Amino acid sequence: MFFILISMRNAEVAALLYEIADLLELKGEMVFKVRAYRRAAQVIESLGRPIEDAWQEGRLEEIQGVGRGIAEHIDEFLRSGKSEYYEKMKKTMPMDVESLMRIEGMGPKKVKLLFDKLRIKTVKDLEAAARSGKIRVLPGMGEKTEQNILKGIEFAQKSGGRLLLGRALPIAEEIVENLRKLKYVNHVNYAGSLRRMKETIGDIDILVTSSDEKKVIDFFTKMPVVTDVIAQGPTKSSVHIQGGTQVDLRVLPESRYGSALMYFTGSKEHNIELRKIAIAKKWKLSEYGLFSGNRIIAGRTEEEVYKKMGLSYIEPEMREARGEIELAQKNRLPDLVTLKDIKSDLQMHTKWSDGVNTVEEMALAAKKLGYEYICITDHAGNLLVANALDAKRLDQQRKEIEKSDKKIPGIKILQGAEIDIRADGKLDLKNDVLKELDIVLASLHSALKLPEEKQTSRILAAMDNEHIDIIAHPTGRLIDRREGAQLDFRRIFEKAIETGTVIEINAQPDRMDLNDVNAFAAREAGCALSIGTDSHSTDQLRAMRLGVGIARRAWCTKKEIVNTLPYKDFAKKFGIKK
DNA sequence: GCCGTTTTCGGCCCGACTGTTTTCAGTCG
């Protein structure tokens, strides 16, 4: 068995290569050279194993997209923490490229021109120049350009960052529903990273087939949620909606729906791979279809296009150019877990600790979702902020759970608890209390900044306790708000297999923890996984689909997810006798 | 800069919209 460890250095190396790419682009280097750096960065970012391993083994050049030149930069960076090449370039172009490029409408050419002519280095410089009318006199620029720059700056300051998947999904679904109601609209779907279930979303892409393109675009740009229209052409439009999210719409004829949906679902890297296959067959693939010369040979459905290309259908969550195309060629894609496979939710809170609903309300809501059993996992121990239960209250709660279990037929209610792992690795409750519970979750809630070694030991110690069944939200991160614990996942996965501990995929929209890359590594290592919503109200139970999304992005089948087990098998696996 | 059952040289994904132009470059996805 081989193990995988996700290292922080991968992200550092990727960041360096991205920055080099930006600077090369400013310099006006060949687009292909720039692209080569970006591609290498992207591959290393989602590598799934530490770049140091390949480096120490002298096998950097075996990484896709890394050749002699880039390998040398990586080597220097890993040895010395610096890159002469990068620093030299940065000296000649000292502007804040990242921030400037993030302004809508600002690309490398404008950033370079504005630096050369006006010494603009920061967004602040840019704003001042635009306000005083210094930009309009430059070649290729005009008054409108200045206005757009100011609008772009204002917008970048207001919005900042990406939208959580769990927030973007309902918005996209509502827009899709509204478009679907129109008489002249046939197919409509959202695409993009949203359809691939990435944990955060840059913007929302929507695709429509219609007999009347103009009417669709008109309807779209005049929706009440639209705050301003960025672009509006005959087949394509972009708008901002309340809250600042950008929504792109594309209208296409029915016969192109499949190829367009593929194109807009991405990922970009997946599309490029597909197009290369088409080129090798002397065809051409675009959003308008698969072409042999001028003749369209596929495009109506995604299935048709994949099939014509000699590939089995690839689920959107797998389209990241991480080897799925090769598997599709061999017809060996995994049968991904689906929401329907889920028989239970293994993490939820009630009024007993920090939730808003009762045991009974949670159970009824879970039953409505079609679950066979659930696990009530209120906080227990000393976590006072979360109103954690002590031994006495756990006893009282057990009586209520048993009562509800009898009262509500068709769903089994288990008593679990979420126990805090203290900084020294000790658990927040005594063993004689833990042993009375059906399922025990252990998780980190504090001291998330300890060094990796200590943090890892904490989790390993918890797993060594025979009563701990699941490690919940392993890193404790909150997306865009808190980084979470540094962990040596290689050792954690080893210990999980040794002790039979399950690792949770937490489906809370701002947790998504394990994330897709770590869940991928866990599955490859052979770990058992669970998906829990960590719900604090009945509404939140529906977040299960986000967790399933992570599992699917990690190529999990139902075999790897313990809460797809029917109750009988689940009870047997965890030694529950009731 | 990378890469190769078409190539170790000559390719590298493809198209829409905007704004400033008067035929197109820049940007975006």
Instruction: Give CA–CA dist A265/A287, Å, rounded.
Output: 11
Give the SS3 label for residue A271: helix
A301 CA to B6 C1', in Å? 30
The strand pair at A246-252 and A204-210 is best described as: parallel
Successive 10-residue mean pLDDT values, chain A, 578 residues: 46 86 86 87 76 87 89 92 91 88 85 90 91 88 88 74 84 91 93 93 92 91 88 90 86 90 90 88 88 89 93 94 90 96 96 90 96 95 75 92 95 95 87 92 86 89 94 88 82 95 94 92 95 92 96 96 97 91
Would the Cβ of A307 be found within 7 angstroms of any atom in strand B? no
Tokens of residue A372, six digits: 């066979």
The residue whose two tokens read 């995994």 is A334
Residue A275 near residue A203 (C-beta atoms within 8 A): no
Nucleotide nearest to A20 (CA to C1'): B1
**Alpha helices per DSSP H over A46-164:** 51-56, 68-80, 84-92, 97-101, 108-118, 123-131, 143-159
A509 CA to B9 C1', in Å? 50
Nucleotide nearest to A152 (CA to C1'): B27
Phi-psi domain of A416 (left: phi exceeds 0; alpha: psi -120 through 50; beta: other)? beta
A343 Cβ partners below 8 Å, 6+ apart? Answer: A371, A372, A373, A563, A564, A565, A566, A567, A570
Per-residue pLDDT, A385: 59
Nucleotide nearest to A286 (CA to C1'): B14
What is the fold of A339-573?
A: TIM Barrel (3.20.20)
Q: Which residue is nearest to nucleotide B3 (CA to C1')?
A: A65
The residue whose two tokens read 């369209």 is A296
Give me the sign of the Cα torsion angle A558, A559, A562, A568.
positive
Residue A185 near residue A216 (C-beta atoms within 8 A): yes
A230 CA to B18 C1', in Å? 10
Written out in words, the top-level CATH class of the domain with range A161-252 is alpha beta
- Fold match between domain A6-159 and domain A273-333: no
A83 Cβ partners below 8 Å, 6+ apart? Answer: A16, A20, A73, A76, A77
Per-residue pLDDT, A159: 59
A214 Cβ partners below 8 Å, 6+ apart? Answer: A234
| CATH architecture of the domain formed by A273-333 | 2-Layer Sandwich (3.30)
A251 CA to B21 C1', in Å? 28
Instruction: Give CA–CA dist A378/A534, Å, rounded.
Output: 10
A138 CA to B22 C1', in Å? 19
Per-residue pLDDT, A8: 57
The domain segmentation of chain A, as residue ranges, is 6-159, 161-252, 273-333, 339-573
Closest CA to A377 of A349, A402, A353: A349
What is the fold of A6-159?
A: DNA polymerase; domain 1 (1.10.150)
The strand pair at A236-241 and A200-201 is best described as: unpaired
Instruction: Give CA–CA dist A270/A25, Å, rounded.
Output: 23
The strand pair at A289-292 and A236-241 is best described as: unpaired
Protein-contacted bases of chain B (C-beta within 7 A): 1-3, 6, 11-21, 25-29
Per-residue pLDDT, A167: 85
Instruction: Give CA–CA dist A189/A242, Å, rounded.
Output: 21
Residue A547 near residue A514 (C-beta atoms within 8 A): no
A279 CA to B3 C1', in Å? 15
Would the Cβ of A273 be found within 7 angstroms of any atom in strand B? no
A70 CA to B27 C1', in Å? 27
A68 CA to B10 C1', in Å? 19
Nucleotide nearest to A238 (CA to C1'): B17
Q: Which residue is nearest to nucleotide B21 (CA to C1')?
A: A140
Which value, in Å, is the radius of gyration of the alpha carbons in chain A? 26
pTM: 0.81
Give the SS3 label for residue A249: strand
Per-residue pLDDT, A447: 82
| 221-250 of chain A touching strand B, CB 7 A cut-off | 231-236, 238, 246, 248
